[in-house]
Structure 1
Amino acid sequence: MAVAALLILGAVGYASWLLEFVVDTGIDPLRGFASELAAADQPYGFWFRTGDLVTGCVVAVAGVLGSARYSQGWVTTVGWLALIMFALATIADSRLPMSCAATNDPVCAAREAAGHLPLTHDLHAVTSASASTGGVVSSLAFVLAAFRYGWPTWLKIAGVAVATAFVGGTIWTLTAAGLRGEQDAWLGLGQRVQLLAFCGWLIFVALSVIHVTAKSDGST
C-alpha cells in the first residue's frame, strides 16, 4: 500500500549518510556530525541534502495519509502528527545546511568558537532538534499504541527494540554534543546509531500499517 511504500522509501532516503563509507568525505564517522556531510562546502553535500529532502517530502505525505486513514485512536494520531513534524523539520534541515564542517576544518572550528558562523548554523540546530523531537514522540506514541491496541507480539518487540535504540542514540548524541571540547564521547557514532535506528523506525511504522492499522481501515 502507498503509505507503507512511502515510509520505506523515506527510510532509504534517510540512510543516504551511509554513502560516507563509499566516498571520501573527510568527515570522521566516529566524531563528526552527520549533518556536516551535507554542509554547503562539502564535495558531496548536495547528495546528502537531497537524501534528506526526499525523506522529508515522502514521509510528510505518508504522515498526512496515515493520520487520515490509519489512526486507531488518539495515540496513533499523535504518532502520525509527530512523524509529520519530523518530516517538515527534515525538509527545513536540508534547506538550511551548515556552511562548513567544524570537526575536520580548523578554520571553521575557529569561526565556531568565536561565534562568527552564519545564522544558518543556529537555524540548522533548531530544525535538527525539532526533527529529533518529532522522532522521539512518534516512537513513544506508536510503541504505546502497540500495547494499548493489542498489536502482534513480534511487532511489539520490534517496536520496543527500535524505539529504545533510537531514543538511546538521541540521548547519546545530546550528551556528546554537550561534552564537546571537554571530553570525547564519540558524538558521530552516537548520532549515526540514532539515524540508523530511525530508519528502522520508519520501517516499523510501515509494518504496523501493513499488519495492523490497515485492517482497521481508519477505525477509532
Structure 2
Amino acid sequence: MLAAAALAIAGVAYSSWIFDFIVPTGQDRFRSFLSELEADDVPWHQVYSYGDIVAGVAAVGASLLLFGVRPAGRGATTAVVALGVFGTATVADALAPMGTVPIVHAATSAIAVFSLFVTMGAATWSAFREDNWPIMRTLGATTFALVAIATGWMLGSDRLQGDYLLGLAQRIQVGAMSVWLLVFSVGTWSSTRHARRPKRVPRRR
C-alpha cells in the first residue's frame, strides 16, 4: 500500500509542468523544453524544481518498498531497481537546472528517461511473463506505447531541421510517463490487495 501511494505521489509530482497552464510563464509550450521552466528567471520556477524533487524522492521510496517485498522474477526486479535509478536521476536533474550546469543536466535527464524506459519495459515484460501487475498488460502497455511514440517524435524533432513541435512532443511524453506511474501505482495496490486476500479452503464432503 505504501509503495502504491509513493508511486501515485511520483506520478502527480512529475506532472508539475501542468502548472504552466494555470500561471503562464511565457514559454512556447509547442517548442520549448520542459527543463526551461526551471530556469531562475522563469516565474514560479521553484514549483517545477520541487515537483521533480518530490517525484524523484517518491520514486526512490517506492523502489525501496517494492524491493523490500522481494519482487518475483528478474523482470520485476529490474523494473524496481530501474525505478530507483529514475528517482535518483530526477532529483539530480532538478538540482542541476539546464541554465546552471548544462552538461550535468543533459546527463541526468538522459539517465532519468532511459531508466524509466527500462522500468516500463521490464514491468510490462514481467506482467506478461511473470504474472506480476496484470493491469500493466493492458493499460500499462498502451501508455508505454504512447510514451515510445512521443519519444520518437521528440528525438526526431530535435535532430531534423524545421518546426516539428518538439515541445509538444515532450509534453506528451512526460505526461504519458506520469500516467504510467499512476497506472503502476494502481497495479501495485491491486497486486498487494490480491496477495493479502485469504485463500478459500475447499469444503470437505
- Normalising by structure 2, we get a TM-score of 0.89
| 150-159 or 204-213, larger mean C-alpha shift | 150-159
Question: Is the Cα contact below 8 Å between 1:76 and 1:145 reproduced in 2?
Answer: yes
* Preserved contact between residue 71 and residue 213 of structure 1 (Cα < 8 Å): no
1:28 corresponds to which residue?
28
Q: CA RMSD in A?
A: 1.7
Residue 201 of structure 1 corresponds to 180
Alignment check: 8 A CA contact 1:155 1:208 kept: yes
Distance 1:178 1:150, change over 3 A: same
Aligned pair in 2 of structure 1 residues 70, 212: CA closer, same or farther (>3 Å)? farther
Q: Unaligned 5+ residue runs, structure 2? A: 197-205
Q: Give the equivalent residue in structure 1 for 2:113.
A: 132
Could you tell me how far apart the structure 2 residues matched to 1:64 and 1:4 are?
12
| Amino acid in the other structure paired with 1:178 | R
Q: Deviations over 1:63-83 (max 9, x none)?
A: 111122151111000001111
TM-score normalised over the length of structure 1: 0.84
- Give, in angstroms, the shift of residue 214 of structure 1: 5.6
SS of equivalent to 2:138: helix
Alpha-carbon distance in 2 for matches of 1:92, 1:186 = 27
Residues 11 and 147 from structure 1, CA distance in 2 versus in 1: closer, same or farther, beyond 3 angstroms?
Answer: same
What is the total number of aligned residue pairs between the two structures? Answer: 196
What is the rounded CA distance, in whole Å, between the counterparts of 1:58 and 1:33 in structure 2?
A: 23
1:132/1:154 CA distance change after superposition, 3 Å = closer
C-alpha change, 1:148 and 1:216, in structure 2 (3 Å) is farther
Q: Secondary structure at the match of 1:212?
A: helix
> In percent, how many aligned pairs have the same letter?
33
Q: 1:78 to 1:216 in 2, by over 3 A?
A: farther
| Distance in 2 (alpha carbons) for counterparts of 1:79 and 1:206 | 13
State the Cα deviation string for residues 148-192 of structure 1 (Å, max 9, x = none): 13357654110110110112222222221223xx21111101101
Contact in 2 for aligned 1:38/1:48 (Cα 8 Å): yes
